[in-house]
Every structure is written in C-alpha cells, then in structure tokens.
C-alpha cells in the first residue's frame, strides 16, 4: 500500500462511536464499522479523546477480523488516557470515565501510541495526528503548546516516519492556523493533516486563502473531517460541535433550496465539494448508524449536474476561489 491509495477516497471518522452526545449501543457501533467495511471503506480514523478510548476499542474489535494489510488506520497523540476516573461533561460525557491528560511531549506520545495499539488490537499504525494543539482547545496557550509539540511529538513522529514505522504524520485540528504554522517548519514538517469543520460547504473561505495553496506547494495532503459541519448541513443540531447559529441556518436553507431544485442530496453536495480540492486526500464523515454510512457512500458517487455547482457559485454560496467538481 502507498499513501496515494487514499487519494479521493471516503473514510470513516469514529468520533461519534466514542458516545459523542449520546449513548451508542455496542452492537450499533460494531454494525456501523462492519457496514463501512462491507461497502468498501478502507480508511478508518480514531483518537483516544473519543470517549476516553472507547472509539478505539470498538474500532479495534470490529477490524480485528480483517487482514491488517487491507486497510489504513490513523489515530492521534497529545492526550493520554489515565486509569484514574472523573465525571465527564461536554461532547463525550457518555464516554468512558477515564481521565485524559494533555501532553505533547515525546514520552507522552510514545505512551499514547502504546495504549492505542493495545485498544486497537493491532501491531502498527499508518498515520498519526497530533490532536487539538489549537486555539479552540488551548486558547492563548496554544502557541506554547505547539512549541512543546515541536520539540517533542513532532520530532519523534518525524523520526518514526523516516524509520518507516509510520507512513505519515500531521496535525488533527479544527482550526487552520496550527497547520499553517507546522507546514512551514523545515526539520519536522508534516505531510498529512486532518482538518475538521474548516473545509466544508458551510465554512471554507479562510482555508482557501492560505492553507490550501500552501499545502499544495509543500506537498502536504489534507484529510477533511466533519464535512457536514458537525451535522448542521444535513439537519443535525450541532455546528462546529456547538449550537447552530442563525446565519448558518440561513445559509443551509439557501443551499438546500438549490439542492432540491437540481434533485441533488445535501450529503452528495457536501462530500463532493470537499473532495474536489486537489490538496484533499480523503474525506471522513463520522456516523453511528449503518444506514448513514450507506448514504455517505452513495452520496460520494452521486451524479451531480454542473448547473448545480454554477448556481451555488452565482449565489455566492461557495467561494469563487473554491475548486468545484466541474473545474
């Protein structure tokens, strides 16, 4: 296998399988992963953060019956799952109660990898992302955190890539700025980064201005996470993992009118928009329901007329600088 095999592919993001926002029955989670596999998905992304290891455990259980050479697997570093427990709140209040420690040092990264391998029931990982070293999680401290990561996780991951232990590494974040900074580094430059919520139909202007052009110039590939903007684009109750603002409701309704006019699904429009940028290697929507995975796969292959994309552009619902599937 080589990295180019995920180019233009649909993967499965597993944040929802860590009991994000609700209790997900074990059998439902396993059925979702099995359906993704049976429908041809071969790239799976996870993280210790997702339910304090719950998503990794479920993914490891479901994938353990398949040949490890037949799929790509990525997880994240930057948080260590501790034996100590605590009460949870927020996105993963229904996940495991284990405490998470934020730590971007090399020692913590190696400990995190060892734990992830055990939960995932595998002997190797293909890609590793440094998770949430970003303003939305660390506020003004994010720059000092990324400095720790540069001296710790970044250097160690670069070494692991050079040694062939992993194929690629990068950042897994919900903001463009950390990736913009990291891809300018000389000695520890990432080559595959996961950007969630920031290259979607509803939110892409900022990424287009600086990140995507530089990613192309530096030969850094982007995996798009949360292509439905946490569900807001497809009737969900969240946008960027929070409440849906009024302006986003209005924009979604405007896009929906055009999809209905051209008989296009919102999922098809969202997935194919994100896939159209040449810097994008893969798009990884997450789900907890098998039928939604089937919808995602069908949507990624949907025939969408050029007039639909042109109307989105004419109505200023997509940036004039955004590559479209018709370009």
pLDDT greater than 80 at residue 115:
yes
pLDDT of residue 12: 97
pLDDT of residue 2: 44
Residue range 275-296: mean pLDDT, rounded: 95
Whether residue 76 lies in the annotated active site: yes
Distance of CA 281 to the CA centre of its chain: 11
Residue range 93-102: mean pLDDT, rounded: 97
Task: State the chain's maximal CA–CA distance in angstroms.
Answer: 56
pLDDT of residue 113: 98
pLDDT of residue 4: 57
pLDDT of residue 7: 65
pLDDT greater than 50 at residue 73:
yes
Residues sharing a CB contact under 8 Å with residue 142, sequence separation 6 or more, in sequence order: 133, 134, 135, 178
pLDDT greater than 80 at residue 3:
no
Confidence of residue 6 (pLDDT cuts 50, 70, 90): confident
Confidence of residue 1 (pLDDT cuts 50, 70, 90): very low
- Which one of 9, 43, 45, 240 is the catalytic residue? 45
- CA 97 – CA 85 distance, rounded (Å): 5
- The structure tokens listed for 251 are 């924009």
Consecutive H or E run containing 74? strand 72-77
CB atoms within 10 A of CB 125: 21
pLDDT greater than 90 at residue 327:
no
pLDDT greater than 90 at residue 256:
yes
Residues sharing a CB contact under 8 Å with residue 1, sequence separation 6 or more, in sequence order: 69, 72, 126
- Which one of 43, 50, 104, 241 is the catalytic residue? 50
Confidence of residue 237 (pLDDT cuts 50, 70, 90): confident
Specify whether the CB–CB gap between 79 and 103 falls below 8 A.
yes
Residue range 230-259: mean pLDDT, rounded: 92
pLDDT of residue 5: 55
pLDDT greater than 50 at residue 289:
yes
- The structure tokens listed for 165 are 């232990």
Residue range 34-44: mean pLDDT, rounded: 96
pLDDT greater than 50 at residue 287:
yes
Residue range 42-62: mean pLDDT, rounded: 98
Whether residue 104 lies in the annotated active site: no
Helices marked H in the chain — which ranges?
26-38, 54-63, 106-119, 135-138, 142-149, 155-162, 177-182, 205-209, 211-217, 246-261, 266-275, 290-300, 306-314
Q: Mean pLDDT over all residues of the chain?
A: 95
CB atoms within 10 A of CB 246: 7
Question: By CB neighbour count within 10 A (0-12 exposed, 13-18 middle, 19+ buried), where does 111 fall?
Answer: middle
- Which one of 76, 167, 251, 267 is the catalytic residue? 76
């Amino acid at each position: 296998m080589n990295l180019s095999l995920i180019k233009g592919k649909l993967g499965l993001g597993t944040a929802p399988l860590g009991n994000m926002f609700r209790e997900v029955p074990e059998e439902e989670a396993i059925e979702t992963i099995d359906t993704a596999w049976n429908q041809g998905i071969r790239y799976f992304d996870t993280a210790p953060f997702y339910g304090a290891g719950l998503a990794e455990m479920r993914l490891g259980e479901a994938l353990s019956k398949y040949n490890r050479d037949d799929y790509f697997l990525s997880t994240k570093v930057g948080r260590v799952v501790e034996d100590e427990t605590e009460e949870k709140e927020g996105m993963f209040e229904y996940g495991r109660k284990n405490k998470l420690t934020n730590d971007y040092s090399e020692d913590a990264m190696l400990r995190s990898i060892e734990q992830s391998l055990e939960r995932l029931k595998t002997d190797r990982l293909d890609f590793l992302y440094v998770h949430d070293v970003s303003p939305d999680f660390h506020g003004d401290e994010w720059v000092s955190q990324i400095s720790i990561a540069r001296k710790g996780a970044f250097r160690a991951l670069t070494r692991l890539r050079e040694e062939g232990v992993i194929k690629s590494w990068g950042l897994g974040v919900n903001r463009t700025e950390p990736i913009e900074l990291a891809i300018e580094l000389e000695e520890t430059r990432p080559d595959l980064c996961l950007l969630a919520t920031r290259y979607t139909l509803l939110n892409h202007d900022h990424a287009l201005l600086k990140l995507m052009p530089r990613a192309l110039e530096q030969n850094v590939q982007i995996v798009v996470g949360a292509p439905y903007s946490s569900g807001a684009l497809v009737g969900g109750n969240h946008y960027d993992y929070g409440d849906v603002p009024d302006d986003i409701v209005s924009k979604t309704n405007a896009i929906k009118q055009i999809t209905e006019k051209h008989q296009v699904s919102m999922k098809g429009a969202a997935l194919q928009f994100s896939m159209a940028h040449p810097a994008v290697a893969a798009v990884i929507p997450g789900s907890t329901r098998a039928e939604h995975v089937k919808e995602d796969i069908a949507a990624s292959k949907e025939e969408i007329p050029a007039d639909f994309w042109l109307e989105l552009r004419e109505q200023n619902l997509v940036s004039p600088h955004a590559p479209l599937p018709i370009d």
